[in-house]
Structure 1
Amino acid sequence: MLEHDPAPFPEQDGLNIAALTGLFRNTTNSYKFVFFLALLELLKRHQFDPERPYPYTEITIEMLSAVWFAHTFFKLSFGAQDTITQKLDALGLDFTASESLSTREQSALRRAIANSDLKSALRLMDFVPYRLQIPFLEPQLRDIDKGAWMTFERAMPAIVNSHFQTVRPLYHYDSDNWKECTAIHWHPDWVRYLEQHQGIIHGWACWHWLAYMQRRNPNTPGLPNKLFPPSKRESVNKQSRYWREILNAAGDKPLTCIYTGEPLSPKHFALDHYLPWSFVVHDQLWNLIPAPPAVNASKSNHIPSGDHLRDLVDLQYDGLQIARRIFSPREFDRFTEDYIADLHLPSTETLLNYGELFNAYARTVEPLVTLATNQGFTSGWAYGSDDH
């Protein structure tokens, strides 16, 4: 868990920096984090232009695209009361993307969202553009009941607009009438400040969103890597070499695929993540096994049937025995350090003991399978099954 707040922002004459740092106080849903991050992204995309309006529709599209990866690809929980993922699901998007969600794919995702019926999703704009600015107007809101939902929101546009030049909140609205608000207009001083300090402010907002998501996904592995798409997947050349040399050294008794039983070829295999990469978000060898390419493609991001756990341990154990024989002690230690760390084994000797290895896998994998299944990953996969 995260334990401390990042350093405060640089001071700026005339701007209420303390209010900025208080944006996420008393936050019970993801909306403020996603809304603010969407605003930062739109400012950056439009070269920090303070003159143009930022329409609610544009902000909504950016918010939905910002959570698509974490929700659709990694199936993270946003909280029981949070509706942003429900609004995203309701769009019924026919959209797929790679695990790195390239810039081109991100643009395509925004277009797909923009071409959907956004009537329900736009309800996000009923409150978050107004709630976010409370820290800037505490004295002016002293007599307003902030707990009176809709009554408070209806009062905010006129209050903010009337104090915009003196109090200088982040932005004002294009109407004093809540029903007629369709866009925000940034205060130019804040735009300059956000542009100057965009790195630290973006990192701070991400830090707070991560802390929020950790509370709602406490046991999810690799959570920091699941909120935003990686720029690219890391190479698995080292892992491929490990298994290729093991398969070559197996000789007349070839190792076999745990899903089909067919012999594994050192010249033609794929690396399969036993627990899907989209759940664990890593390429550690303890979770990687060779499989025929067609089998790996069929498995996709499904979770294997529990019957395959012993098969997994059998293959890993055989591979480790061969690896101990063919690699130098230094290379072997380098290849197996993640086994020992992630499976919580005390030594190399226990790693090479079948009973210890099986128990370590059972303790590690079975709870993760339960968690992944609860998050929506399909479990019980078997090659050739009619269900998949």
Structure 2
Amino acid sequence: MDIQHLKYKNDLNIDSFIHMLDDTTECYKFYWLDALLKLFSLGKTEIVFDDLINQMIADAWYSVVEYHLHLGPKNASGKIMNSLERAVIKLSQLTNIPNDADRDTIILAVKENDRELHGEKDQLTKNVPYRMLSPFMHEVKGNDRIWDQKKRLIAYIEQLNKKECIPYQITNGAGLKKRVVINEEWQNFFMDNFVTISGWIEVKKVRYLQGRNPGVPGIIYKLVPENNKQRKLRYVRNLWNTIIETKPVYDIYSEKLLGLDDFDIDHFVPWSFVANDELWNLLPMDSSLNSSKSNNLPQWKYFELFAKNQYMMYESAKSSEKIMDKFKKCQRDNLVMPWSMEELYIAENDREAFIKVLEEKLHPVYDSARIQGYEIWRM
């Protein structure tokens, strides 16, 4: 998303605007500006700090709780340093709302636990609202004492706005009761370029999160809850249905014989980590167990059974034209990674070679998920 090509009829300082998200050592600016735009899209032009922070927590909820992403570093003793991440984790510990709860539910929970979250929320207002405007403050350096003198800083922003229309001003008030007031000319700019600006923020946010979570795939899919995404498992289910019609297939965890109507297609390593529906990570699983496994990892001891199950599936396809037809229909959506068709699902592999290739590819993914904080599921 190249926001630098934005043109606008008013005499706004777009050059400074596009630098608002530069040099971010923390994620706060992304979530702050995103929250500001979301509330503006609801018709709000004067927004209390408290409401903005509530939105930021709701925005970060899915990435932190559902997908185990880190928003910032830990210190030497393992303490999370990022105030937004701490707020989300604390909210999760204080409530029983589901990981994929809707935004309204999350914001309501934040309000109900406002006292417990006050420290983290207050910390988030110390610098972000003001530092966001630093590209417009050409006379103020990064270590200027004014940054620690909020009344003086607010007065400076007010005077600056008289010389040059800046995106918003800040009203004096007590802590979280301060307000952001979006300037009218910038309201028109935000309205006309809402989609472009939102996309720009998302790209910046994804790049930051990838840097903080280098071993995690599919970061861009981990900003919203999983149930908002289109899943592509239909052809995989058809494949396993066809196999079950011809031979016995057992659940690798319970050893229960699976029938046509009593299994789900499950990810060995959870989708919320891998962010794909690759066939080599999918298996038929007893429906009654799938809900208890949820978003957790199986014990690695089940890998061998899983790999043998995968090998049986491919051997069945090679020996049956009908099953092979179902297998080929999975290729577009479920066999995207080139190595799967170049190294795994190839005629030359006997069972030992097949299992070895699958382990070499899947074990590092499994280990990365463990490092990221995914829990082990035990029956």
CA distance in 2, matches of 1:285, 1:124: 43
CA distance in 2, matches of 1:86, 1:40: 23
1:193 aligns with 2:199: no
List runs of 5+ in structure 1 lacking aligned partners.
384-388
8 Å contact 1:33–1:208 — kept in the other structure? yes
TM-score relative to the length of structure 1? 0.86
Cα 1:222–1:350 shift into 2, 3 Å: farther
The aligned residue for residue 233 of structure 2 is: 236
CA distance in 1, matches of 2:23, 2:174: 23
The aligned residue for residue 386 of structure 1 is: none
Cα 1:370–1:34 shift into 2, 3 Å: same
8 Å contact 1:344–1:360 — kept in the other structure? no
Q: How does 1:314-333 map to 2 (within 5 A)?
A: 314-327=308-321, 331-333=326-328
CA distance in 1, matches of 2:149, 2:340: 52
Cα 1:179–1:161 shift into 2, 3 Å: farther
1:297 aligns with 2:291: yes
Q: Among 202, 211, 215, which residue is 2:207 paired with? A: 211
The aligned residue for residue 68 of structure 2 is: 75
TM-score relative to the length of structure 2? 0.88
Q: Among 281, 294, 313, which residue is 2:275 paired with? A: 281
Q: Aligned partner of 1:301: which letter?
A: N
The aligned residue for residue 131 of structure 1 is: 131
List runs of 5+ in structure 2 lacking aligned partners.
74-80
SS at match of 1:332: helix
SS at match of 1:349: coil
Q: Aligned partner of 1:96: which letter?
A: I
CA distance in 2, matches of 1:341, 1:96: 35
The aligned residue for residue 164 of structure 2 is: 167
Q: Aligned partner of 1:300: which letter?
A: S
Cα 1:299–1:229 shift into 2, 3 Å: closer
The aligned residue for residue 97 of structure 2 is: 96
1:224 aligns with 2:223: no
Q: How does 1:101-120 map to 2 (within 5 A)?
A: 101=101, 105-116=102-113, 117=115, 118-120=117-119
Q: Aligned partner of 1:305: which letter?
A: Q
The aligned residue for residue 13 of structure 2 is: 16
Query: Which deviations, in whole Å up to 9, do the C-alpha atoms of 1:159-186 show, x marking residues without a partner?
Result: 10122232111111112x7869611111
The Cα shift of 1:317 comes to: 0.5
The aligned residue for residue 52 of structure 2 is: 59
The Cα shift of 1:152 comes to: 5.8
Mean CA deviation greater in 344-353 or 299-308: 344-353
Cα 1:158–1:292 shift into 2, 3 Å: same
SS at match of 1:249: coil
CA distance in 2, matches of 1:359, 1:149: 61
8 Å contact 1:246–1:322 — kept in the other structure? yes
CA distance in 1, matches of 2:348, 2:293: 27
Query: Which deviations, in whole Å up to 9, do the C-alpha atoms of 1:234-254 show, x marking residues without a partner?
Result: 25222211111111111xxx1
CA RMSD after TM alignment = 2.5
The Cα shift of 1:206 comes to: 0.7
Q: Aligned partner of 2:110: which letter?
A: I
Query: Which deviations, in whole Å up to 9, do the C-alpha atoms of 1:200-251 show, x marking residues without a partner?
Result: 011001111111111111221211100223534425222211111111111x
Query: Which deviations, in whole Å up to 9, do the C-alpha atoms of 1:60-88 show, x marking residues without a partner?
Result: 10000000000000010112142211122
Higher helix share: 2
Cα 1:160–1:296 shift into 2, 3 Å: same
The Cα shift of 1:351 comes to: 7.5
CA distance in 2, matches of 1:109, 1:190: 29
Query: Which deviations, in whole Å up to 9, do the C-alpha atoms of 1:313-347 show, x marking residues without a partner?
Result: 10011011112333455653342564472655525
Identity %: 22
Query: Which deviations, in whole Å up to 9, do the C-alpha atoms of 1:235-285 show, x marking residues without a partner?
Result: 5222211111111111xxx12111122222223211121111221222222
